[in-house]
Structure 1
Amino acid sequence: MDIKNKVIVITGGGRGLGRAMALELAAKGAQLALADMNREDLDTTIGLCMEQGVIARGYVANVAVEADVEQLFQDVVSDFGALHGLINNAGITRDGLFIKAKDGKVVGKMSLEQWNQVVDVNQTGTFLCTREAACQMIELGNEGCIINISSVSRSGNMGQTNYTATKAAVEAMAVTWAKELARYGIRAASIAPGYIGTEMVMSMKPEALEKIASGIPAKRLGKPEEIARTVSFILENDYVNGRCIEVDGALRI
């Protein structure tokens, strides 16, 4: 797919990886619809994209709320008249040990709220956004591509029962959608980043960052721009479908 003038939706598009993706695609001439919960972040990213001479609009929406998602994609199509891509980037963590015990006594456990919050945003949000995006693409007759953001943690990581479950799920859903939607000219794939130096990660204590980096064969954190370039690769290569691309500095081999 030639990215120029294509309409791409990015959830969680206000900051972090979402902002890096938006700037990467803006540089290639895409028209951008950015969804986020924070209007201020959206406005900042939109301004940066428009500096590159492209059309960019922001939409405040909670991807975990069905009515919000339905309205989001209706608004995008109304504003742009087309839809060619979706990056399911919105995600949260609510980390904690599954069970915590001391001297044979359980002293803590992951709450149902911790579980539901992460599932609602990361998994249900991805489901809802892709469902609505695919419906619009099919009815508009637009071929396109859907990219889910998974994680190296999808194979299991201590303290992240909820997060790992959702990141394994979004990878599997991309495979399913690749098979189901190919008949409509819609591809689906996923990206599994390792530790990436977003604003949130880089705000950690230097000693913590050093410890994380030392455990990565590449001996450094990934850059948001490296994930963004992977997004471009998938969008531009029409034979990439149903696969997960790992971008983790060989953290998981």
Structure 2
Amino acid sequence: MKLAGKVVIITGGAGGIGKEASVCFANEGAHVVVVDCDPQQVEKVANEVNGLGLAVDVSRRDQVDWMVSEVINRYGKIDVLINNAGITMDATLVKMTQEQWDRVISINQTGVFHCTQAVVPHMIREGAGRIINTSSIVGRMGNFGQTNYAASKAAVIAMTQTWAKELGRKGILVNAVAPGFIVTPMTEKMPESILQGMKEKIALRRLGQPRDVVNVYVFLASDEASYINGAVIPVDGGLSI
């Protein structure tokens, strides 16, 4: 097992890509901390992976600080943080409300800042750690109707590369993964005509699976990625080329 004994926090860990990550990291021997905003789903997934489940809104710094203290009290360390939590509230620029802008930025961007800033001092103390941030190809390419989401995911890339420079000398590696169109409960509700149009834009002519993204998470968290820092790895089937 690649991650035996590692303590891994996965935000957004109770659904979609995050749930797949929770299961896969547990299978690799990690102590998984499932963090999400839905208490019932958090408890369900945490029980499934024999991990610790914490219901947290990552936009709330007080809740994030509580989450980190709970993990330290339980395990004494944090080896890996996966900033996977994210939401969408789509609208074109002229129709986007302040609430839509603020909420997406608060989860997708400020939440990443909160969790990383709260966790890093404990990694510095250990002289090692991995931060894995979930960006998106939209953060580099933009997307119709996603001003808020694209801005938040571009910010994740900028924060990743800044933190890689700041924290690398302290033994902490910071990288990002940029998924493309991935099969999730959200895409499963889309009309087939829309899904077909999405597939035609992808070189591989198919949508990705959550496991495609999680495989990269596992690699970046493992010893095999010990000289990768500040990278933004696309997992998009060739959509961004």
TM class, shorter-length: over 0.9
Query: Aligned partners of 2:135 and 2:112: how far apart in 1?
Result: 11
> Would you say the 8 A contact 1:83–1:142 is kept in 2?
no
Query: Aligned partners of 1:48 and 1:212: how far apart in 2?
Result: 33
Structure number with larger C-alpha Rg:
1
Aligned to 1:59: 54
- Listed as ranges, the matches of 1:24-173 within 5 Å are 24-50=24-50, 56-99=51-94, 109-139=95-125, 141-155=126-140, 156-173=142-159
Across the aligned residues of Structure 1 and Structure 2, the Cα RMSD in angstroms comes to 1.3
Choose which of 232, 237, 252 in structure 1 pairs with 2:240.
Answer: 252
Aligned to 1:11: 11
> How much does 1:208 deviate?
2.2
Count of aligned positions: 238
TM-score by length of 2: 0.95
Aligned to 1:226: 212
Please give the per-residue CA displacement for 1:222-242, whole angstroms capped at 9, x wherever unaligned: 000010000011111111110
The 3-state SS of whatever aligns with 1:127 is: helix
What letter matches 1:84 in structure 2? D
> How much does 1:248 deviate?
0.2
Aligned to 1:238: 226
Higher mean C-alpha displacement, 231-240 vs 210-219 = 210-219
The 3-state SS of whatever aligns with 2:49 is: helix
The percentage of counterpart residues that share the same residue type is 39
What letter matches 1:22 in structure 2? S
Contiguous gaps of at least 5 residues in structure 2: none
> How much does 1:211 deviate?
2.1
Query: Aligned partners of 1:9 and 1:62: how far apart in 2?
Result: 14
Contiguous gaps of at least 5 residues in structure 1: 51-55, 100-108
The 3-state SS of whatever aligns with 1:159 is: coil
What letter matches 1:175 in structure 2? Q
TM-score by length of 1: 0.91
What letter matches 1:110 in structure 2? M
